[in-house]
Amino acid sequence: MPVGLQAWDENGNLIFDGTYRVMRIVNSVYLDGSVPNGSLPPNDILKQGGWVSFQPDNTCGDGYLSGGVITPRFSIDQNTGILSWSYAAKNSAQYDIYQKGTLFYGAS
């Protein structure tokens, strides 16, 4: 019998074992929309495989009367452990805005 953390459901089926990989939050950063293209310093944990979750301050339609809300796109380079983001170019500098919000990122 393996040693470590294990959990079973009510029918006796193993549902979790200490060898399973569990997603974990590494950190968070606030994106204020002032940097259309950016990245975080290399992080060895993200070389294992990573994920991102962007939580916007406002959703589309929340108080925006004209123009577009441009959300960031994210990528993780598993060779370097660098997480980067970019916003598409604004069509109208007067009306388009870059979405602000909190970026959570982690490893799986």
Q: Encode pLDDT of 53-94 as tens digits.
A: 999 987 655 555 556 788 899 999 999 999 999 999 888 877
Provide the domain limits for residue 29: 21-107
Residue 39 lies in a domain: yes
Q: How far apart are CA 47 and CA 52, in angstroms?
A: 14
**DSSP-assigned beta bridge partners for residue 31:** 101
pLDDT score of 16: 81
- Please tell me the number of Cα atoms within 13 Å of 92 on its side-chain side: 7
Return the closest-CA partner of residue 31 out of 107, 106, 99: 99
Residue with tokens 């388009």: 96
Location of structure tokens 């604004």: 90
Asked whether residue 65 is domain-assigned, the answer is yes
Q: Decide if 83 is inside a domain.
A: yes
Residue 88 domain flag:
yes
Q: Which two tokens stand for residue 34?
A: 């002032």
Task: State the total domains in the chain.
Answer: 1
* Interatomic CA distance for residues 55 and 72, integer angstroms: 11
Q: Model-level pTM?
A: 0.72
> What does the pLDDT look like over 13-54, one tens digit per residue?
988 887 766 778 899 999 998 888 999 999 998 998 889 999
Length of the chain: 108
Q: What is the dihedral of CA 60, 82, 21, 52, to 10 degrees?
A: 0
Q: Is 33 domain-assigned?
A: yes
Residue 63 lies in a domain: yes
Please give the DSSP secondary-structure letter assigned to residue 44: G
